[in-house]
A and B are shown apart, each in its own frame.
Chain A
Amino acid sequence: MDSDRRNFVRHSLVVLGAALTGGPAHAAEKAAGKTCCGGACAAVAATGAAAARAPGSEPDAAREGTPGRKWVMVIDLAKCDGCGACTQACSKMHFVPPDRQWMKVLRMQESEHTAPYFFPQPCYHCDNPPCTKVCPVDATFKRQDGVVLIDNDRCIGCRFCMAACPYGARSFNWGHPQDPPEAKAQHYSAEQGFPRRVGTVEKCDFCPDMAAQGKLPACTAQCPMGALYYGDQNEDAVTNSQGETQRLSKLLLDRAGYRHLEELGTEPRVYYLPPKNRAFPAPPAKEHAR
C-alpha cells in the first residue's frame, strides 16, 4: 500500500516534470536516469542498458527496485510447445530443488470441448498483490519497478501469503535447504532468493537483478520458441530469446493479449497471447475431472 502511494506521488511528479520540460518520453528517461531518446531506447533498454547500480547490494536497495522501470512479461501461448526449457533454465539458475518450480508449464483445458494448451506460469508480480497485503511482517513487498519479492531474513514462515496467492506461485522451505555449495557461498539477497533459509517462503523473483544488467531472465532467454517476452512497460517494449523486440501495447492489441483470471482483480504484470494459429499442434486433450 505504502509503495503504491509512493509510486503514485512519484508518478505524479514525473508527469508534472514532463509537462514542464516537454514530452513524456523525456520525463521517463529522466526518471530512468538515462539519456537515449524515442523508440530507439526501447531496444537498448531491453537488451543492453547498463545497470543503474549493483544488484542486490543492500537489503534496502532490494526493497526499492530500479527507479523508472515497470518490468513486464508477455507469454505467447501460440508458440509454447510445452518443452519445459524455461522451467529447467529457471531451476538451474536459482538452484530450485526438485519439489518445487518457480516457473511452471501447466497443461490447461478449461472444459471438455475447449482447446487444450500449454501454459507457462511464473509469479504474476501483481500490481494489486494479495500476498503482500496479508504479510504480517512486511517480509514480502511490492517494489517501484513492479516486482514482488520476499525477504527471507524477515519471513516468519506463517504461510499466509501462500494461502492468499490464488495462483499457487509460492513454495515453502519445509525442511533444511539442500542448496549446492556454490549457492551457499553467495551473499543472500531478496533479488536472487538464495542461499535458502529453512521455514521461509520463496517464489519466482522476475529476475530484476538480470534486468538491471540488461539481460533477460533465464526462462525467457532459454525458451527455444521465443514464446516468452520480457521488458519494461514504461518503455513499451518487450524482447524474446530470438532477439525480437516488440512494442508491448501493439503486441497486446494485435494479438488480443489478456491476463489470467482477470476477474480476481489482482492486476498481474504477466500477459498472455491466446494460442491462435499455433506453431505446434495442440497438446492431447485432458481427461476432464469434475
Chain B
Amino acid sequence: MSKRNDERVAETVEADLIAALGPPTRAQKASFLVLGALCAWGAVAYGYQSRHGLAATAMNNYFSWGVYIVNFVFFIGISHAGTLVSAILRVTGAEWRRPITRMAEGITVFALLIGGPMVIVDMGRPDRLHYVVLHGRIQSPILWDVLSVTTYMTGSLLYLYLPMIPDMALLRDTAAPLAPWRRRLYGRLAIGWTGTPDQWRRLERAISVMALVIIPVAVSVHTVVSWIFGMTLRAGWHSTIFGPYFVVGAIFSGIAALLTAMALFVKFFPYLDRYITLDHFKKLASLLLAVNLIYIYFTVSEYLTMGYTSETADRKLLWALFHGEFAAMFWVMAVTGLLLPALLLALPWTRTFWGIVTASVLINIGMWLKRFVIVVPTLSRPFMPVVSLPGQPAHYVPTWVEWSITLGAFSGFCFLYLLFSKLFPIVSIWEVQHADERHAPAATRAAETFEGPAAGREALA
C-alpha cells in the first residue's frame, strides 16, 4: 500500500469516527429520553426509600440483603469487560483488539460508577457513609472492598483516559465542523498533546504500565467482593472456591456485556460496522465460550462437593435451589444462562452474529439471576429455625421501590455509556489508524461481513 493510500485510509477513519459524534439519530434521541425518564423514576423511588427507610424494601431480619447487593455484584462483574479485553489483549499484543478497547474500558468505568453506589443504596444510614473513613476497620472485608473498588475506579479512569489523549488532540485540531464547546472540551482533555516522539514514547509506556497494573487490581476487586460472602459462617457462602469463582463469573458476564454493547453500536451508530466486524464478534465469542466452560466447571464443582457429602445445612440449601422456591430461577440460570449459550457459541451454524448476540444477552440475564441465587437462598436457610413474626415473612419478593431503583441503575448505566459514546469517539481513532497493514480496518479490504462475503454491508442494516 502506498503512502498516499495510507493517508486516505487515515482520513476515512477520522471522518467515519467523527461522524458517530454527530447529532443524535432519532433512535438515539429516543434512547436518551427513555433512559433518562427511567433513571429519574429510580431517583424518585430512592427518595421514597430515604423517607421511609429500608422498610420500603422487602428485606427483613432473615433476608437482610436483597436485589441491591445482587445489582452491586452484577455491575462489579460486568466492569471486568474493560480490564480483560483491553488490558489482557493489549499485554498479549492481540492486534484485533484495537477497535473495541475503548468501548470495553467505558463499560468498566460506568459499571463501577453505578455498581459502587448500589451499596450506598443498600445502607440503612447512608448519612453516615463517611464513618467508613473516620472509623474504618481494616479487619472488615467491607473495607477491603472500599479500598479495592476505589483503586479500581481510579485505575480504570486513568486507563480509559490515557489512550484518549491523542484522539482529543486530533478532535481539537480537526477540520471537521464541531461545536465550539466541544473543541474547548477536547482541547482541555488533550493536555497539550502535539504528538512529538517523546510524547508518544511516554504515552505508550504509561499505557503498558497501566495495562499490567490494572489486571491484578481487577482480580482483587472481584475476589474481595466474593469474600463479603465467603468470610461468613453461612451455608453456600462459606466456600474457598468463591474468590476465583467470582473472578471468572465477572469476566464471563463482562465479555457478554461487551458483545452486547458492540452489537448495539454496530446497529445504531453510522459507519462503526466498518471497524467492528464479524471477525471481532467471532474472536470474542471464542473467548466467551472458553470462560463459559470454565464457569460451568466451577458451578458443577461447587454444587457437587456440597451435594455429595450433603452436610445438613448444605443439603437444605441445595434442596431449596434444585426443588424448592428458588428452583425456577436456578434452572433458568443453569439452562438458558450457562448451557444454552455454550451451545450457541460452540456450534458452527449458530456462531453467527445473531447467535453470538443471543448468547451474550442470555448470559447477562443468567448472570444476574446467578447473583440472586447466590445472595438470597442462603439467607432463607439459616442454621436456626425460622420464627415467623409479624412483618417478617419467610420469603423475599422485592418491592416496587427495589425494582424501580434496579431499573434506574440499569438505565443510568446505559444513559452514561450512550452519552460517553456521543461525546467521545467510542472507537479509538489513532489506535485504528496505527494498526499495521495486515490488520487495517475492514473498510479498506474486501468487505468481510456478518453474513459472509457475498451479502455485503446491507445485511447488517
B384 contacts across to A, CB distance below 8 A: 106, 121, 167-168
**Contact stretch, chosen from A34-42, A50-58, A133-141, A237-245:** A133-141
Question: How far in angstroms is the closest Cβ of chain A from B137?
Answer: 5
**In chain A, residues 180-215, which have Cβ atoms closer than 8 Å to a Cβ of chain B?**
197-201
User: Is B16 an interface position by the 8 A CB rule?
Assistant: no
Residue from the list B60, B139, B142, B315 in contact with A1, Cβ < 8 A: B139
Give Cα A163 to B143, complex, Å: 16
Write out, one digit per residue, whether chain B residues 47-66 have a CB within 8 A of any chain A CB (1) or not (0): 00000111101011110110
Q: A133-B140, A136-B132 are in contact. Are A98 and B64 (CB under 8 A)?
A: no
A266 contacts across to B, CB distance below 8 A: 233
Contact A156 B132 (CB under 8 A): yes
**Contact stretch, chosen from A21-29, A169-177, A222-230:** A169-177
Residue from the list A136, A154, A170 in contact with B143, Cβ < 8 A: A136
**Contact stretch, chosen from B74-82, B121-129, B210-218, B260-268:** B121-129
B131 contacts across to A, CB distance below 8 A: 137, 139, 154, 156
Question: How far in angstroms is the closest Cβ of chain B from A259?
Answer: 13
User: Is B319 an interface position by the 8 A CB rule?
Assistant: yes
Q: A155-B124, A199-B124 are in contact. Are A163 and B385 (CB under 8 A)?
A: no
Give Cα A137 to B142, complex, Å: 10
Contact A137 B123 (CB under 8 A): no
Give Cα A166 to B313, complex, Å: 11
User: Is B151 an interface position by the 8 A CB rule?
Assistant: no
Which of B129, B139, B140 neighbours the largest number of chain A CB atoms within 10 Å of its CB? B140
Q: Number of residues in B with C-beta < 8 Å to the partner?
A: 50
Contact A199 B123 (CB under 8 A): yes
Closest to A104 in B: B387
Give Cα A107 to B384, complex, Å: 10
Contact A199 B125 (CB under 8 A): yes
A99 contacts across to B, CB distance below 8 A: 60-61, 389-392
User: Is B280 an interface position by the 8 A CB rule?
Assistant: no
**In chain A, residues 82-129, which have Cβ atoms closer than 8 Å to a Cβ of chain B?**
98-101, 104, 106-108, 121
Contact A133 B139 (CB under 8 A): yes
User: Is B200 an interface position by the 8 A CB rule?
Assistant: no
User: Is B303 an interface position by the 8 A CB rule?
Assistant: no
Residue from the list A100, A157, A164, A197 in contact with B232, Cβ < 8 A: A164
B457 contacts across to A, CB distance below 8 A: none
User: Is B282 an interface position by the 8 A CB rule?
Assistant: no
Closest to A290 in B: B319
Residue from the list B64, B137, B139, B315 in contact with A159, Cβ < 8 A: B64
B400 contacts across to A, CB distance below 8 A: none
A136 contacts across to B, CB distance below 8 A: 132, 136-137, 140, 142-143, 146
Write out, one digit per residue, whether chain B residues 337-364 have a CB within 8 A of any chain A CB (1) or not (0): 0000000000000000000000000000
Give Cα A175 to B142, complex, Å: 24
Contact B319 A168 (CB under 8 A): no
Question: How far in angstroms is the closest Cβ of chain A from B302?
Answer: 19
User: Is B438 an interface position by the 8 A CB rule?
Assistant: no
Give Cα A137 to B125, complex, Å: 12
Contact B65 A163 (CB under 8 A): yes
**In chain B, residues 110-153, which have Cβ atoms closer than 8 Å to a Cβ of chain A?**
119, 122-125, 128-129, 131-132, 134-137, 139-143, 146
Question: How far in angstroms is the closest Cβ of chain A from B138?
Answer: 9
Write out, one digit per residue, whether chain B residues 313-333 have a CB within 8 A of any chain A CB (1) or not (0): 001100100000000000000
User: Is A261 an interface position by the 8 A CB rule?
Assistant: yes
Closest to A107 in B: B385
A264 contacts across to B, CB distance below 8 A: 233
Closest to B52 in A: A175
B234 contacts across to A, CB distance below 8 A: 163, 166
User: Is B307 an interface position by the 8 A CB rule?
Assistant: no
User: Is B297 an interface position by the 8 A CB rule?
Assistant: no
User: Is B278 an interface position by the 8 A CB rule?
Assistant: no
Residue from the list A130, A156, A290 in contact with B129, Cβ < 8 A: A156
Residue from the list B54, B140, B232 in contact with A175, Cβ < 8 A: B54
User: Is B440 an interface position by the 8 A CB rule?
Assistant: no
Write out, one digit per residue, whether chain B residues 381-409 have a CB within 8 A of any chain A CB (1) or not (0): 01111010111100000000000000000
Question: How far in angstroms is the closest Cβ of chain A from B131?
Answer: 5
Contact A174 B53 (CB under 8 A): yes
User: Is B21 an interface position by the 8 A CB rule?
Assistant: no
Residue from the list B123, B389, B390 in contact with A158, Cβ < 8 A: B123
Contact A170 B389 (CB under 8 A): no
A197 contacts across to B, CB distance below 8 A: 125
Contact A137 B61 (CB under 8 A): no
Contact A101 B64 (CB under 8 A): no
A74 contacts across to B, CB distance below 8 A: none
User: Is A258 an interface position by the 8 A CB rule?
Assistant: no
Q: A101-B389, A290-B316, A290-B319 are in contact. Are A173 and B124 (CB under 8 A)?
A: yes
User: Is B15 an interface position by the 8 A CB rule?
Assistant: no
User: Is B231 an interface position by the 8 A CB rule?
Assistant: yes
Question: How far in angstroms is the closest Cβ of chain B from A128?
Answer: 11
Closest to A109 in B: B385
Contact A159 B382 (CB under 8 A): no
Return 15 A-B CB contacts under 8 Å, by A number.
A1-B139, A99-B61, A133-B139, A136-B137, A136-B146, A137-B136, A156-B132, A160-B228, A163-B64, A174-B60, A176-B53, A198-B125, A200-B124, A200-B125, A290-B319
Given contacts A157-B124, A162-B61, 6 further A-B contacts (CB under 8 A): A99-B389, A106-B387, A136-B140, A162-B64, A164-B233, A199-B124
